[in-house]
């Protein structure tokens, strides 16, 4: 069922293995029709530096992916990036798309901005107020209109490990917003590869995806897409079969073909227009 994979990492993010070439070859061997690389993007202020490529590596990442795009004829290759949403850098995302020629960006809520200006990591979300801040942030990501889809929208349940009225209300807000703006939500296979946690009922389960969240998504009729979020070339389809079984069981609406058409058409436009990308310049002032 999986033909297009949009969410894949390489050694460049410091917490994954494999080169761009390794991923593209592995995806072609698995019989996929396309693969998008979506490395964790660096930010102008070097925020969260330990888990992403350095700004000085951005040119070689872009060139590396485009080189694979030119040289592989057995699979389509797309240039993507996984991004946190930092509202003050709104122009940076436009620069990635319009000046550096990224084919697509994935919006990811690993970090939530808090009222005091700090950012809280997803495993540390534990109070209802923090969960509400997370849900508001995910809606901001959706409403920014910069992103093809939202990576693991239910990653908050790694921290807020219970399904109560607050969890349901926050999930419904995210899902309805995604549906309204036609931004698909990603059922993330990497969560299924993570170490099990003990949940509110003493059940052993993966930290995310959370089945209850996806039952709501199905009920609301939101679009969904399977994301491998591979951190090794051997993981490209790993656990995607389990995700596909959730799709079937819940009759989730699969957005992979619509997203593929959108990305392919943007990539073809860039290829055909003689687009020359700007060199990546590290500057804090945008």
Which residue number, 76 or 229, has a Cβ lying nearer to Zn ion? 229
The CA-atom distances, in angstroms, between 70 and each of 67, 146, 173, 233 are 5, 26, 41, 20
Nearest to 46 by CA among 54, 38, 34: 54
The reply to whether 39 sits near Zn ion by the rule CB under 5 A is no
Q: Which is nearer to Zn ion, 86 or 270 (CB)?
A: 86
Instruction: Please answer whether residues 18 and 236 qualify as being in contact, where contact means their C-beta atoms are separated by less than 8 angstroms.
Output: no
Q: What is the nearest approach in angstroms of Zn ion to the Cβ of residue 113? A: 20
Distance of closest approach, residue 4 Cβ to Zn ion, in angstroms: 16
Q: Is 82 in the site for Zn ion (CB under 5 A)?
A: yes
Binding span for Zn ion by CB under 5 A among 21-29, 67-75, 80-88, 171-179: 80-88
Cβ proximity to Zn ion, 152 vs 179, nearer residue = 152
Based on the shown chain and the rule CB under 5 A, indicate whether residue 223 belongs to the binding site for Zn ion: no
Provide, rounded to whole angstroms, the least separation between the CB of residue 187 and Zn ion: 13
Q: How far is CA 178 from CA 106, 229, 252, in A?
A: 14, 20, 14
Q: How many angstroms separate the CA atoms of 54 and 50, rounded?
A: 9
What is the nearest approach in angstroms of Zn ion to the Cβ of residue 203? 26
Residue nearest to Zn ion according to CB distances in the complex: 229
For residue 102, how many other CB atoms are within 10 A of its CB?
A: 24
Query: 159 or 218, CB closer to Zn ion?
Result: 159
**CA separation for the pair 6, 81 (Å, rounded):** 9
Residues contacting Zn ion: total by CB under 5 A: 2
CA dist 225 and 50 (Å) reads: 28
Tokens of 39: 């490395």
Kindly tell me which of 41 and 142 has the beta carbon lying closer to Zn ion: 41
Q: Which of 154, 223, 229, 235 binds Zn ion (CB under 5 A)?
A: 229
Applying CB under 5 A, the residues found at the interface with Zn ion are 82, 229
């Amino acid at each position: 069922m999986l033909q297009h994979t949009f969410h894949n990492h390489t050694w460049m993010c410091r917490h994954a293995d494999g080169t761009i070439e390794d991923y593209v070859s592995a995806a072609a061997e698995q019989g996929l029709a396309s693969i998008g690389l979506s490395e964790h993007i660096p930010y102008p202020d070097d925020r969260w530096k330990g888990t992403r490529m350095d700004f000085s590596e951005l040119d070689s990442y872009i060139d590396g992916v485009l080189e694979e795009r030119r040289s592989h004829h057995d699979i389509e290759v797309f240039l993507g990036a996984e991004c946190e949403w930092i509202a003050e850098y709104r122009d940076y995302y436009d620069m990635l798309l319009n000046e550096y020629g990224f084919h697509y960006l994935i919006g990811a809520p690993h970090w939530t901005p808090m009222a005091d200006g700090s950012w809280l990591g997803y495993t540390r979300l534990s109070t209802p107020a923090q969960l509400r801040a997370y849900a508001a942030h995910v809606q901001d990501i959706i409403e920014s209109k910069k992103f093809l889809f939202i990576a693991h929208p239910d990653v908050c349940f790694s921290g807020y490990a219970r399904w109560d009225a607050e969890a349901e209300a926050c999930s419904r807000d995210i899902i309805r917003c995604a549906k309204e703006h036609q931004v698909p939500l990603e059922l993330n296979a990497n969560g299924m590869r993570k170490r099990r946690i003990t949940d509110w009922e003493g059940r052993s389960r993966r930290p995310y995806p959370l089945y209850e969240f996806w039952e709501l998504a199905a009920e609301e009729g939101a679009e969904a897409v399977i994301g491998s979020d591979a951190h090794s070339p051997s993981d490209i389809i790993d656990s995607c079969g389990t995700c596909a079984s959730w799709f079937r069981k819940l009759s989730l609406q699969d957005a992979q073909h619509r997203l593929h058409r959108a990305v392919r058409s943007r990539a073809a436009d860039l290829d055909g227009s003689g687009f020359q990308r700007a060199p990546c310049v590290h500057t804090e002032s945008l």
